[in-house]
Amino acid sequence: MTLDERAVGRDNNLNLIRLIAAWAVLASHSYVFATGDMHAEPWQEIIGTTPGGVAVDVFFVVSGFLVTGSLLRSKTLLEFSIARALRIYPGLWVALSWTAGTVGIWFSAESIPAYFGGIQTWKYLLKNAVMITGAEADLPGAFAANILPSVVNGSLWTLRYELRLYAVLALVFFVIALFTSHQDRHLRLKRASLISAIALVVFCVYFSDHGKLPVVSRLVAMFFSGNAYQFFRKKVRLSPVTFILASLALVAGVIHSLSAFSVIYLLCLPYLVLFIAYWPINKNLLSFNKFGDYSYGIYIYACPIQQMIMATKPGLSIWALTLSATPIVGVLAWLSWHFVEEPALARRHDLAARLTPLLGRRSRLS
């Protein structure tokens, strides 16, 4: 069974994987919010990262695979860009507005006029609303008595790299499409994808610090690994034997050394993620897809909720914070998906159809 045969339609475990990954980020952040120690998680000494770090890598592998597929199916760059923007921005804008308003009214040491009139508040809103230029985590006077004062949403920093990678991918595709025939285009894209993935993995290994991989480079490597798997999906076999061997290799890497693990991790994680995503494990799990994709909502609401809980119940333990935040964040993620994200995505084809004639054929890919 090849990846190409399985990666069709919605018969997959992606929503469940993303949900677990988003919750893992929430759980990892509880260590920081409850203790104030950025290195409190025991996993860091063993594998050089945290469960939350692994979860973000999973997101980037899945994103590289799916976004590349979206680009290949798009008729125009405008259609692709609209789909990507509607997936990220509407949910983000609502989360930013709700968070800034809630913090300003109930969780800031600043007076309400000073808070809403301050430059930092509007910097938080406007910079994060665009995100390409970077993320802003702090709001004035926020959570002044917390272990980590001022910090409101530390998760947002990865979104800038996600968006930049979308732009890089679209630019590479456009340049290759501009200077090659349709017949040669796919071959050149496959070559560029494979070379990029290999180069990034080598770069990460070379610049690792005693086995600890540079974070941003690792995320980019994971994205382009997912990208390469999309281009070579007809060649990739989903084999339980390969899955078991890759898993055992990771265990062996942990036992041997952090340096060995980091190399094996870069090579094996993308395959393991895509195998779990597309191997038909249990038909009952597929029914989970009917509920929707709540992972993004969990990702963008978790940090503010965790800080709010710590502000109202100081001294909570790591797991008490995790368990307290999970249902609240889950409700917000449910609301975000059903009332913001899904309705926005439903508009993508209509919006592309309305705007494409304004650009003519200038944005066409095929």
Q: Residue 120 has what pLDDT?
A: 95
171 or 244: which leads in pLDDT:
244
pTM, 2 dp: 0.93
Helix (H, G, I), strand (E, B) or coil at 151: strand
pLDDT of 186 > 80? The answer is no
Question: Is pLDDT at 33 greater than 70 in this prediction?
Answer: yes
Cβ pair 211, 259 in contact under 8 A: yes
CA–CA gap between residue 164 and residue 64 (Å, rounded): 12
Residue 55 has pLDDT above 60, yes or no: yes
Band (282; pLDDT cuts 50, 70, 90)? low
Instruction: Kindly tell me the burial class for residue 152, based on how many C-beta atoms sit within 10 Å of its own C-beta (0-12, 13-18, 19 or more).
Output: buried
User: Which residue in 136, 151, 144 sits closest to 29, CA to CA?
Assistant: 151
Between 157-179 and 77-106, two packed helices, what is the crossing angle to 10 degrees? 170
Q: Are the C-beta atoms of residues 132 and 163 closer than 8 Å to each other?
A: yes
Percentage of the chain modeled with pLDDT above 70: 95
CB 63 within 8 A of CB 168: no
Candidates 162, 106, 103; CA nearest to 138 is 103
**Per-residue pLDDT for 361 more than 70?**
no
pLDDT of residue 358: 63
Do 18 and 293 contact (CB within 8 A), yes or no? yes
With CA atoms as reference, report the closest residue to 88 among 59, 55, 116.
59
pLDDT given for residue 192 in this prediction: 82
Nearest to 139 by CA among 127, 154, 157, 152: 152
More confident call, 172 vs 344: 344
Mean of pLDDT over the chain: 90
Per-residue pLDDT, 203: 86
The CA distance from 295 to 16, in Å, is: 9
pLDDT in tens, 108-162: 999 999 999 999 999 999 999 999 888 999 999 999 999 999 999 999 999 999 9
Contacts 24+ apart (CB under 8 A), 192-196: 193/68, 193/224, 193/227, 193/228, 193/230, 193/231, 193/232, 194/228, 194/231, 194/232, 196/224, 196/227, 196/228
Mean pLDDT for 43-67 is 92
pLDDT at 2 (0 to 100): 93
Q: Once rounded to an integer, what is the mean pLDDT over residues 225-252?
A: 95
Percent of the chain at pLDDT > 90 equals 67
If you count DSSP H runs as helices and E runs as strands, how many of each does the chain have, helices first?
A: 17, 0
Within 11-76, where are the H helices? 14-35, 43-47, 51-73
Residue 199: per-residue pLDDT = 87
